[in-house]
Amino acid sequence: MARWTSFLGSGKDIAATTGSNTTIVSFTGNDLPTAGVVAYHFVLRSNTVNSLNRVRVKADNRQIYDVSAAHFRKWQERFSQNGFALPTGYARFTIPFNLMDIVDDDLADACQFPRGTVPTVELVLGGSAGTATTAATPGIFAGWTQTDQAPQFYPQLVGQALNIGQSQTNATYNLTTQGAIRGLMLDTTSLNRAKIELNGFSYHQLTGANYLNVSTGDMTLASQDLEDGAGSSGGTTLTTQVGLRVPMIAASSGASRIELDTGGSWSASNEITLWTIHNQN
């Protein structure tokens, strides 16, 4: 089987933003292919990934991605084969749809963008985004990688607010998502404890980001450093989020949940992002 990459996609302008306002740059089926797509690639002009607030992808009306930039970056660091933590200073990024943590290309590429659907990619840029509207050189360019591997699965990467307030003990969020969970992302600031239970089995029982107030003694990040690569301090680069791997197990209602203890700086708007895998239609 083979992959091939094209950078012949059209560009899009970036409208001006002010203050905390955002602007959305959209690519549609007129700009992007769907057959055998394992990744979309984007290059920004006059901006960097630091201006990216959120990534949304739809297949027809089906939500495929709806993820914050922070969880998007942590997802790539945790599950890419080389522990790649996307720097906010980069002017380029990739949205993968394959199982990027699997070394064998054919196995990884069995997971693709949903076949026979029309794509919509919405890149939400924040107030730091600079205007880029020159007709000859638009603000964002798109490319893609495709495969001739037969599609079997498609991914979803969706974040949802936990609605768990600060200074809570044994606060519970039920996991009732469809498909098989491959991984999940959580914020760690003021996260004192987390327990992830799937179908009655505890896959992760985690200390918070500052275990016993010793930041270098974090058991959660220590368990991941060998896979995530070396950051500036010799360990995981992105330490304000955590990515957790689970063994492709379906979450059934009532038997799957996350239980949290939160500190005084935790926010009810903090999200949990689930990476799930689904059968192609």
Q: What is the pLDDT of residues 126-157, one digit of tens each?
A: 866 655 554 556 789 999 999 999 999 999 99
Give the pLDDT score at 213.
Answer: 59
Residue 22 contacts by C-beta under 8 Å, 6 or more apart in sequence? 53, 124, 125, 126, 127
Q: Which comes out higher in pLDDT, residue 20 or 207?
A: 207
- The mean pLDDT value for 152-173 works out to 96
Neighbours of 148 (CB within 10 A): 12
What are 141's strand-pairing partners? 11, 43
Using an 8 Å Cβ cutoff, are 99 and 277 in contact? Answer: yes
Task: Kindly tell me if the per-residue pLDDT of 1 is higher than 60.
Answer: yes
Q: Which comes out higher in pLDDT, residue 221 or 173?
A: 173
The 10s digit of each residue's pLDDT in 76-104 is 999 998 888 899 999 999 999 999 999 99
Residue 20 contacts by C-beta under 8 Å, 6 or more apart in sequence? 126, 127
In whole angstroms, what separates CA 200 from the centre of its chain?
26
Q: Is domain 3-154 in CATH 2.40.110.10, yes or no?
A: no
- For the record, the structure tokens of 54 come out as 């959120």
Give the pLDDT score at 136.
Answer: 56
Identify the CA nearest to 121 among candidates 183, 34, 186, 179: 34
State the DSSP H helix or E strand holding residue 173, giving kind and residue range, or none if neither: strand 171-174
Give the pLDDT score at 28.
Answer: 94
Q: pLDDT grade, residue 238 (50/70/90)? A: confident
Rg (alpha carbons) of the chain, rounded to whole number: 19
pTM above 0.85, yes or no: yes
Q: Provide the percentage of residues in the chain whose pLDDT is more than 90.
A: 56
Alpha-carbon distance of 4 to 89, in angstroms, equals 27
Q: pLDDT grade, residue 234 (50/70/90)? A: low
Residue 38 contacts by C-beta under 8 Å, 6 or more apart in sequence? 3, 96, 97, 98, 108, 109, 111, 112, 113, 145, 146, 147
| Termini Cα distance of the chain | 22
Q: Which comes out higher in pLDDT, residue 110 or 190?
A: 110
Identify the CA nearest to 240 among candidates 12, 69, 30: 69
Give the pLDDT score at 223.
Answer: 76
**Range 162-279: architecture per CATH:** Sandwich (2.60)
Give the pLDDT score at 281.
Answer: 77
Task: Kindly tell me if the per-residue pLDDT of 18 is higher than 90.
Answer: no
Alpha-carbon distance of 112 to 150, in angstroms, equals 9
Task: Kindly tell me if the per-residue pLDDT of 202 is higher than 90.
Answer: no
Identify the CA nearest to 94 among candidates 57, 61, 133: 57
Task: Kindly tell me if the per-residue pLDDT of 37 is higher than 90.
Answer: yes
| Candidate from 86-90, 122-126, 245-249 with smallest mean pLDDT | 245-249
Instruction: Give the CA count within 13 Å in the CB-facing half-sphere of 150.
Output: 3
- The mean pLDDT value for 99-118 works out to 94
| Tokens 């060998």 found at | 226
Q: pLDDT grade, residue 212 (50/70/90)? A: low
DSSP state of 132: B
Q: Provide the percentage of residues in the chain whose pLDDT is more than 70.
A: 87
CA distance to 179, 242, 268, per residue, from 96 (Å):
18, 19, 29
- For the record, the structure tokens of 178 come out as 């469809």
Average pLDDT score over the chain: 87
Ranges of CATH 2.60.120.730 domains, the chain: 3-154
- For the record, the structure tokens of 173 come out as 């969020």
What are 11's strand-pairing partners? 141
Give the pLDDT score at 235.
Answer: 64
